[in-house]
Structure 1
Amino acid sequence: MLIVPEREIANLMTPEAAFEAVEKVFAAMASKDAYNFPVVREAIGHEDALYGFKGGFDQAGLTLGLKAGGYWPHNLEKRGEINHQSTVFLFDPDTGKAKAMVGGNLLTALRTAAASSVSIKHLARKDVKVLGMIGAGHQATFQLGAALETRAYEKVIGWNYHPDMLSNIEKVAADAGVPFEAVDLPGMKDADVIISITSAFTPSLMADHVSPGTHIACMGTDTKGKQEVEAALLSRATVFTDEVAQSVSIGEAQHAVAAGLIKESDVYQIGAVINGTHAGRASDDEITVFDGTGVGLQDLAVAASVVNLAVEKGVAIEVDF
């Protein structure tokens, strides 16, 4: 079995490679060449942590495995460790034997950022100028960095529950040479693209905070009960997702479906837009939402790419398992 430690990931996986892997696997999912297994996601009753498993099988790429991990909200303040912790395990689909163990923390941030960027590429208007950020934590910096590669933005605006953390994303914008402004939530009406990346159980972005033609990537809701945007917003929008079953059960769409505002059949796979079997955005006034629930196949795609690179560069550790 091969081991690729967390410390090696930054030198192996680039945002561009993550984008390519995620876009490809979304397309494979829509073509039914790849499928995800049901997600296990639970509050463990210790350290307020949420822990779970996401797995799947990509028949086209012959990638089989799972990611184990979750969210420990007190890690940063108590231990100086990031709150999201995970490890990816890959298996040989021909034999079932363990093939690789890969550090999943940076990979999770990169693949999550890649997913929202894929949605911006395929669903946002071509003339977008203002990017709105809701959330300013560790993963928000990756989201913003990746999103700034998708369009020529003139300005970034941001809001966070804890305003002192906005400096995290202000620095990313500054490094990219894009002006940044902190705003109240109603100020998001000025945004052409909005990325929401929080761990909230109460919505912050409301329907009247969003202007016609906006694309919204909801990237934080991946558990029953979590919610970042008002359910009524989804009823005003065309909703796309990575995995429909997850979207309506643990994703942002769970609340709109439960309230009877939309049906499961109103949620579409982003892979269908990538494949050209769904037209995507229909007009410049249409509001589009990407419900990024995070699927196991994303993790497997980027992990498999990392393993190949680690072998090529001689940094993979081989153990007799």
Structure 2
Amino acid sequence: MSDAHKVTVVPEAVIAGLLSEEEAFEAVEATFGAMARGAAYNFPVIREAIGHADALYGFKSGFDRESLAMGLKSGGYWPGNEARGLTNHQSTVILFDADTGRVKALVGGNLLTALRTAAASAVSIRHLARPDARVLGMIGAGHQSTFQMRAALKQRDFEKVVGWNYHPEMLVRLETLAGELGLPFEAVSLEEMGAQADVIVSITSSFAPSMMADWVRPGTHLACMGTDTKGKQEVEAALLARATVFTDEITQSVSIGEAQHAVAAGLIAEGDIVEIGAVINGAHPGRSTADEITLFDGTGVGLQDLAVAAKVVEVAVARGGATELAF
């Protein structure tokens, strides 16, 4: 029997035309549900400062027994890339055949990372934000912010976007997108954002909190999407004590996610945190009152990457757009 087989290659450049936001949303939502049922699990994350180019490099991997998605995302963050005309986040997804262990596909991971991260916050908004949410707040105006904003705006009938960024001149990125989507945009202080916004999406790489607990009003939903490394922090730890905290994966939430600081300070316990998949599956009610503050700690799990990569491969093969190599 010949040992040769085909590997599907889906390069970075073609992914934008293959995966819709809706497909990314559905893939991520299904993955969170499978995780909460115990049918899918992530392996421990490796993420290291490599001592070269100020880069963080690592692996996220896992296996979903329902979809049979198995593999890893390898890559990280190279802060000097922007000066080279490249995206700071660089990654590649490798999928394997769950039946044989043979390599199945090689998929560009940069756009997928942005799409799956935006899908995760959108899933949290769909399941946790108040139905009458009308003002969207955006903390951060970097590369992923427009993906976040576009996905979030589809979840409720928002009428206005307010934004804040460490470098205010970058807010034009969000203002332009809001204008294209027919919504007014206002640059505000963080305190003013807390007073206005019904939903707040935070997507920064900050190591110090920007949004304070006292600034957030009752009924707000927050999606904290930037904290994925020990030491990073986007909101004051006391805010998690005021909120009902949800996450993609509890292990990551308390170790490298936004909850790491609140847990370390004894403000909340690991047992207080709810996996968003439990809400998706109907095992947890999610928001219980209009005044409840809900917070989603989106740490980013390998299974999200595998789910969207598997969908891209499926679509690419179906449309005849995939490259297949003998391997």
Q: Please indicate, yes or no, whether the TM-score normalized by the shorter chain is above 0.5.
A: yes
Q: Could you report, residue by residue, the CA deviation over 1:58-116 in whole angstroms, capped at 9, with x for unpaired residues?
A: 0000110010111112211x201111111000001111111000001011100000000
Q: Look up the SS of the partner of 1:225 in the other structure.
A: coil
Once residues 209 and 260 of structure 1 are traced to their aligned partners in structure 2, the CA distance between those partners, rounded to angstroms, is 21
What pairs with 1:273-292 in structure 2 (closer than 5 Å)?
Answer: 273-292=279-298
What pairs with 1:182-261 in structure 2 (closer than 5 Å)?
Answer: 182-189=187-194, 190-261=196-267
- Alignment-derived partner of residue 118 in structure 1: 123
Identity among equivalent positions (%) equals 71
Q: Look up the SS of the partner of 2:210 in the other structure.
A: coil
Q: Look up the SS of the partner of 1:319 in the other structure.
A: strand
Matched to 1:73, the amino acid is P
Once residues 62 and 323 of structure 2 are traced to their aligned partners in structure 1, the CA distance between those partners, rounded to angstroms, is 24
Matched to 1:58, the amino acid is D
- Alignment-derived partner of residue 40 in structure 2: 34
What pairs with 1:4-153 in structure 2 (closer than 5 Å)?
Answer: 4-76=10-82, 78-153=83-158
Count of residues paired in the alignment: 320
Once residues 212 and 33 of structure 1 are traced to their aligned partners in structure 2, the CA distance between those partners, rounded to angstroms, is 35
What pairs with 1:149-164 in structure 2 (closer than 5 Å)?
Answer: 149-164=154-169
Root mean square deviation of aligned Cα: 0.7
How much does 1:275 deviate? 0.5
In structure 1, list runs of 5 or more residues that go unmatched: none
Shift >3 Å, 4+ stretches: none
In structure 2, list runs of 5 or more residues that go unmatched: 1-6
Matched to 1:137, the amino acid is G
Once residues 292 and 174 of structure 2 are traced to their aligned partners in structure 1, the CA distance between those partners, rounded to angstroms, is 28
How much does 1:47 deviate? 1.7
- Alignment-derived partner of residue 4 in structure 2: none
TM-score (norm 2): 0.97
- Alignment-derived partner of residue 3 in structure 2: none
Once residues 234 and 321 of structure 2 are traced to their aligned partners in structure 1, the CA distance between those partners, rounded to angstroms, is 39
How much does 1:146 deviate? 0.5
TM-score (norm 1): 0.99
